[in-house]
Structure 1
């Protein structure tokens, strides 16, 4: 047994997963906020990708395909397992993935703490099996709590809302182990400073409302085309479509809607590094309801529309925030267009929506987590034990 002292500049592991960009973005945001406070010895690890690359790639592809193929099956599995106990056979099996790889990483890296931004909780399983005593933390990156995030051996939870804190308490987690932080975001969303000249740099007219459409959120090209066709009927609106790294989709859209592109009514972008700028320039956004994307839109006070959210955590995220007046869920392109135009033509409705968004804003979530983490790590045990074979 090797003993490690927690230093004034501790070494941290942040575990994430590559199912979309949200978990990695949250991990990076935490890393950057910790670095701002002088804690720079941080290692980010995609645990499942390192431990089981084939399983990781296969399940990642299946997850991405679930948007267009058998979304109901994914939603059924999600809802069916949502209340599962940490010590159930299924939960134990899920949390076993990456366990041996993590044990080797811990021996090699000798971290002082482990932070999860994805509910692959191999760390608590290691604690139980080996007597490991490294503080572990979980950052919940959705507005819906699946019990896969919950384990009694997690030392501290960072959650987006007071409602989730109460849900954790009802599951037996002590209130003192829960911090209402929000979902950690990129630095640009924490300190928004938008220069008026940005509109011109993105080719946007100051005289028109801007509807921001996240293309990857809309499932198939045919659905996206229907949405754009309907919205382009409104001449006083500029559509901004972000296609991410899907260059083929961007090229296809420019060809399909060449006349709108030529007149400037439609702007098509690929990957945008400074997404906070486009969001701040927009009047509303059409997006999928992933936790990080929703938190980003809320941080800039951007009214949110989500089209037929995928069953599972994304639909539950949307339903939760719809109940708070922050999200509008629509089922058809025509309904989407009607709801957007209804919003844009009613300043009182826009103000009401922005007020609801402001009540939910937690722009400084990453800083809150970093400060709380430093405080909680300081009062943890002064040593950790790693069992070596």
Structure 2
């Protein structure tokens, strides 16, 4: 059994998923090494504050209001071409200027290994630390970006079998299919009855979860409007960190007894466990959490790039359906819950779920040490 006494975990505050994955890995480390030391850092903290603001707020703004622009940036940097060359040069320059700060901190604090949950700086840092400190990269989606596929990593943790094949097809064999790291609570979810009791939901009612993800993006408002027409269905609408959406939906649905509107909630696991189906965006972390609850998913508004790839993976494996028009949500939910499709989707979700991904990552890092 490998010993791991000190670990560095690095994420980027671009959206919410990378940080959530980093915290899951930290949690698994503390479980395995309760007396060990873990250093968790936002890599954007080492760049100028104005640039961090531009990157983190820029992603949220594009995801909410200009997803096609984000998609153009994602695919342009992922596929060979002029834009990819420019992305490489900018990325390499930023890394050469700012990565030494992370290097000095990790070295000074005696960190034995570093795990990245975001691709910014990951491969260049692994190159810099080659022979001195093993560096790992963990996927937060079901497919990987070009920047995440590098032989410089001591080991890459693939978010799915598809992400693993991306690496092996390129001759990168130092990779393992662990799944996307989620909080340990997703390995011990409450029963449907327990979750509904916690949330004060009727035990026999039909419950649908509607979520715009951590940043509250997409057409969740339109989806909830459609679901509100179903008198025999309770809709739990989660707005995440989108305060404007929360205020707007609270005002609009305040008279609807079958619609419950929430902002950011710390106990999403209870909502996943309590629901009969979910209408949500195909974010890597939120989808992975829903898989752990074997929850049938209707997926809306994929951001071009990683969320499109997540949608493809989940639908092709039978755990989700694509919902191209949010105004048809009620009809689509009614169909899957009444014709037996939901049971098949639950079975497919159980096959894909990796609730112990964070534990597996820590185990592999410790063994490699």
TM-score (norm 1): 0.86
Structure 1 residue 165 displacement after superposition: 1.3
Aligned to 2:315: 322
Aligned to 2:112: 112
Cα contact 1:84–1:91 (8 A) shared by 2? no
Aligned to 2:193: 196
* Secondary structure of 2:63's aligned partner: coil
1:189-338 equivalence runs, <5 A: 189-194=186-191, 196-216=193-213, 219=217, 223-260=219-256, 263=257, 265-338=258-331
Which runs of 5 or more residues in structure 1 are unaligned? 1-6, 378-389
For the structure 1 residues 84 and 101, does the alpha-carbon distance in structure 2 shift closer, same or farther, using more than 3 Å as the test? farther
Structure 1 residue 80 displacement after superposition: 2.5
Cα contact 1:17–1:48 (8 A) shared by 2? yes
Greater shift, 96-105 or 124-133, is seen at 124-133
* Secondary structure of 2:181's aligned partner: coil
Structure 1 residue 376 displacement after superposition: 1.1
For the structure 1 residues 74 and 247, does the alpha-carbon distance in structure 2 shift closer, same or farther, using more than 3 Å as the test? closer
Greater shift, 312-321 or 50-59, is seen at 50-59
For the structure 1 residues 166 and 248, does the alpha-carbon distance in structure 2 shift closer, same or farther, using more than 3 Å as the test? closer
Aligned to 1:79: 75
Query: Equivalent of 2:349, from 357, 375, 381?
Result: 357
Query: Equivalent of 2:364, from 357, 368, 372?
Result: 372
For the structure 1 residues 113 and 131, does the alpha-carbon distance in structure 2 shift closer, same or farther, using more than 3 Å as the test? closer
Alpha-carbon separation, structure 1, partners of 2:10 and 2:57:
20
Aligned to 1:68: 64
Alpha-carbon separation, structure 1, partners of 2:355 and 2:128:
38
Cα contact 1:307–1:336 (8 A) shared by 2? no
Q: CA RMSD in A?
A: 2.3
Alpha-carbon separation, structure 2, partners of 1:51 and 1:185:
27
Aligned to 2:336: 343
Cα contact 1:308–1:329 (8 A) shared by 2? no
For the structure 1 residues 10 and 92, does the alpha-carbon distance in structure 2 shift closer, same or farther, using more than 3 Å as the test? farther
Aligned to 1:166: 165
For the structure 1 residues 251 and 178, does the alpha-carbon distance in structure 2 shift closer, same or farther, using more than 3 Å as the test? same
Which runs of 5 or more residues in structure 2 are unaligned? none
Aligned to 2:141: 142
Aligned to 1:48: 44
1:17-28 equivalence runs, <5 A: 17-28=12-23
For the structure 1 residues 198 and 9, does the alpha-carbon distance in structure 2 shift closer, same or farther, using more than 3 Å as the test? closer
Structure 1 residue 129 displacement after superposition: 5.5
* Secondary structure of 1:68's aligned partner: helix
Greater shift, 313-322 or 246-255, is seen at 246-255
- How many corresponding residue pairs? 361
TM-score (norm 2): 0.90
For the structure 1 residues 173 and 338, does the alpha-carbon distance in structure 2 shift closer, same or farther, using more than 3 Å as the test? same
